[in-house]
Structure 1
Amino acid sequence: MKLNGYHKKEKLKSRTQLEAIFATGKSFSVFPVKIFFLETDTSETAYIKAGVGVSARHFKKAVHRNRIKRLLREAYRLEKQTLLHQLEKHGKKIAIFLLYIDKEMPDYIVLREKMKDGFEKLQSRLAIQE
């Protein structure tokens, strides 16, 4: 299986897991993305389960929300490698939710840079950096 993909087993779809992330998980912001995360049990198949979201309040048209979600997923897919390697090394599994919180359409390059910064911050929060 390719490491650079965003496969079905990596997608966060469980309603109970989503509710747990928002109820008991932790969060931080790397503007324009807010990252919610929760360490999960080791019975999960993937080291990272990820989901993305955009507020319908700020983006009324579905086409705009879908575009932002595509950009978030692509930035996640390309920047997850270092986080994934650290999680595998330490034997931890997490569920994360990436929420776009800005009111303007994002620029992909900025979004990808912020995703990288967010994952570095997440590694320090999980205490898995070397």
Structure 2
Amino acid sequence: MNFTYPKKEKLKSKITIGLLFSEGKSVSKYPLRLVYHSGPSIDGQEIKMGVSVSKRNFKRAVDRNYFKRVLRETYRLNKHILIDNLDKPFSFMFFYQTKDRMSYEEINTKTIQLFEKFIAQNGKKEQAEINNDIVEE
């Protein structure tokens, strides 16, 4: 298992980020939100991930940076949940959306739940598409 977060996995493209916010869908597990968009892979990566913490909730950059580090760490340790269950490339933006200061353990638990919820939603859509294809034939 590769528990890294290399530069190739970081979401940096303004075009891709724009697509996330204009055409992307989201899934939430308080206080986290995952916005995602499926599209062609630019450089062969299955996943592109970005993190964000609102300036509205944390005025001091030190606090925002702390929660961004925590989000990146929880993603790094739990990304296998996503990779093992995806069959096409995805771009993600990972948000921390509350003023509450949760502990690392709580955020890690919520991250796992969020990733599982995402997989459950996508699995249903893929199954529905497969079932529709079978019915049409």
Fold agreement, TM-score > 0.5: yes
Q: 1-side partners of 2:36 and 2:22: how far apart? A: 11
Q: Does 1:72 pair with 2:68?
A: no
Query: Which of the pair is proportionally richer in helix?
Result: 2
Q: 2-side partners of 1:76 and 1:3: how far apart? A: 12
Q: SS state of the match for residue 127, structure 1?
A: helix
In structure 1, the partner of 2:134 is none
**Mapped contact 1:9–1:45 kept (Cα < 8 A):** no
> How far does residue 98 in structure 1 lie from its aligned partner after superposition?
0.5
Q: Deviations over 1:73-99 (max 9, x none)?
A: 000000111211222xx3x11001011
Query: Please, what TM-score do these two structures have when normalized by structure 2?
Result: 0.86
In structure 1, the partner of 2:117 is 121
Task: Report which of the two structures shows the higher radius of gyration computed on alpha carbons.
Answer: 2
Query: Please, what TM-score do these two structures have when normalized by structure 1?
Result: 0.90
In structure 2, the partner of 1:93 is 89
- 1:48-63 to structure 2, matched below 5 A, reads 48-63=47-62
Q: 1-side partners of 2:61 and 2:100: how far apart? A: 14
Amino acid at match of 1:97: M
Q: 2-side partners of 1:22 and 1:28: how far apart? A: 13
Q: 1-side partners of 2:11 and 2:75: how far apart? A: 13
Q: 1-side partners of 2:27 and 2:84: how far apart? A: 22
In structure 2, the partner of 1:27 is 26
Greater shift in the superposed pair: 55-64 or 102-111? 102-111
Aligned-pair identity (%): 37
> How far does residue 15 in structure 1 lie from its aligned partner after superposition?
0.7
Amino acid at match of 1:11: K
* Aligned residues: CA RMSD: 1.8
